[in-house]
Amino acid sequence: MKALFIGGSGTISAAIVRRLSEELNWEVYILNRGNRDLGDLKNVTQIIADINDEEDVLNKLGDMKFDVVSEFIGFTVDAVERDYRLFKDRTNQYIFISSASAYHKPASDYLITEGTTLANPHWEYSRNKIACEEFLMDKYRNEGFPVTIVRPSHTYDERSIPLGVHGKNGSFQVIKRMLEGKPVIIQGDGTSLWTLTFNKDFAVGFTALMGNPHAYGEAFQITGDETLSWNQIYQTIAEALGVELNAYHISSEYLSAVGDKYGFDFEGSLIGDKAVSVVFDNSKLKRIVPDMKTNIPFSEGVRIALDYVMSHEECQVEDPEFDSWCDRVIIALENAKLSV
C-alpha cells in the first residue's frame, strides 16, 4: 500500500508515518518543504516541494498514484481545492484533517458525536475547517471523490506539554513558571472537562481508516477515552515536575478581553474551544477500529513529554512577553479585589 502525506512531520502526522513505516510496512511519501529532519525511517521517501506550486508538485510526482493521500496542513478552502485538482485522479482515498473545534460553540450537549452540528462563531480557524469539509463532501456526493474527514481534538506528543493558556512560543514558559513557584493561569474555575490524546494512540485510529472503504464519505473524530478537568491536567503536570501547583483561575471572557491587544487569541482557543466541556463518543470509530483506546494515559504521556522537553534545549523556548503579561494580569486582579 502506498500513501502520500502533505506535511508529514507535525505532532499528529509524524506518529502516523512512523507507525505505517515501522509496523504496517506501507510505502510512504512525504511532501513538504524539508524544514524538519524526519529521522531514520524505512520505506519513507521525502518529496521536497511547496504544495502551493502545483506545476512543480506535478513534475515531481510524475505518474505516481496512491492508495491514500492525507492532508495535514490544509486550513482554507483554497488548499483543498488545490488538492482536488492535484489528486482527484491520483488517489483511491483522500483524508482531510479537520478539527473537533469545528463542533458547535456553545455546545448544546457535552457529549460530542460526529453528528453534532458544526458551527463556531468564535474562531476563524474552525470556520475555515468547516468550509473545507463542506467543499470536500460536496465533491464526494456529486462526483464520488473518495474523501474521509478526521476531526482530532487536543493531540500532543513528546515535544510539547498540553495546556489551556500559554503564549505564542508554546508551553515551556508555563512549565518554567511552575518550576519557579509562580502562579499559573487556568481558564475558568478549572472544572470544565477536556480530552487529551497522545499521538501514538491517535495513529492507531487513523491508520485503520486508511484504505478502509467503510470510511469513504464519512467523518470520524479520533480521541482517547480519558477525560480530565483542567485542574486535573495542571495538577498532573505539577506532580510530574515534583512541584506544588500555584493555580490562578481567571474567566475565559476576561482572558480574551485582556489578551487581544497583545495578540493572544483566547477568544478562539478558549471560548471557541478549550473553555467548553467536551466528552467524545467514539463509538462510530470503534465499530471499525476496535483496537482504538487509550494506551498512554496523560499521567504517563506528560512524563514522556517533560523528559523530552527538559532534555532538549530547542524545546525550551522562553516567552518573556507572555510571562510579563501573566504577572500584570494577576496583579491587576489582586488590586481589583482590594478596591471593592
> Do residues 97 and 186 both lie within one domain?
no
pLDDT of residue 176: 98
pLDDT of residue 42: 82
Q: Could you tell me the CATH number of the domain that includes residue 185? A: 3.90.25.10
Residues contacting 216, CB < 8 A, separation 6+: 93, 140, 146, 147, 148
Instruction: Give the pLDDT confidence of 59-101 residue by residue, as tens digits.
Output: 999 999 999 999 999 999 999 999 999 999 999 999 999 999 9
> Do residues 141 and 169 both lie within one domain?
no
Instruction: Give the pLDDT confidence of 181-209 residue by residue, as tens digits.
Output: 999 999 999 999 999 999 999 999 999 99
Number of domains in the chain: 2
92, part of any domain:
yes
340, part of any domain:
no
Percent of the chain residues topping a pLDDT of 70: 99
> Do residues 40 and 124 both lie within one domain?
yes
- The domain in which residue 122 lies consists of 2-155+198-222
Q: Tell whether the model's pLDDT for residue 326 goes beyond 70.
A: yes
- Report yes or no: 258 and 220 within 8 Å, Cβ to Cβ: no
Locus of grid cell 457529549: 111
Mean pLDDT for the stretch of residues 161-190: 97
Confidence at 34, pLDDT banded by 50, 70, 90: confident
Q: What element of type H or E holds 327?
A: helix 320-339
- CA-angle at 128, arms to 36 and 58, nearest 5°: 50
pLDDT of residue 244: 98
Distance in angstroms (rounded) separating the CA atoms of residues 100 and 235: 25
Instruction: Give the pLDDT confidence of 266-288 residue by residue, as tens digits.
Output: 999 999 999 999 999 999 999 99
Sign of CA dihedral 35, 36, 42, 43: negative
Beta pairing, strands 68-71 & 2-6: parallel
> Do residues 249 and 123 both lie within one domain?
no
288, part of any domain:
no
- Report yes or no: 100 and 114 within 8 Å, Cβ to Cβ: no
> Do residues 314 and 167 both lie within one domain?
yes
> Do residues 206 and 243 both lie within one domain?
no
Mean pLDDT for the stretch of residues 239-260: 96
Q: Tell whether the model's pLDDT for residue 38 goes beyond 70.
A: no
What mean pLDDT value characterizes the chain? 95
Percent of the chain residues topping a pLDDT of 90: 91
Phi, psi of 284 (to 5 degrees): -60, -45
Instruction: Give the pLDDT confidence of 107-148 residue by residue, as tens digits.
Output: 788 899 999 999 999 999 999 999 999 999 999 999 999 999
Could you tell me how far CA 236 lies from the centroid of its own chain? Answer: 20
> Do residues 110 and 126 both lie within one domain?
yes
Q: Could you tell me the CATH number of the domain that includes residue 33? A: 3.40.50.720
> Do residues 191 and 208 both lie within one domain?
no
339, part of any domain:
no
338, part of any domain:
no
Distance in angstroms (rounded) separating the CA atoms of residues 316 and 249: 25
pLDDT of residue 36: 72
Cell digits for 56? 512543480
> Do residues 125 and 218 both lie within one domain?
yes
> Do residues 181 and 300 both lie within one domain?
yes
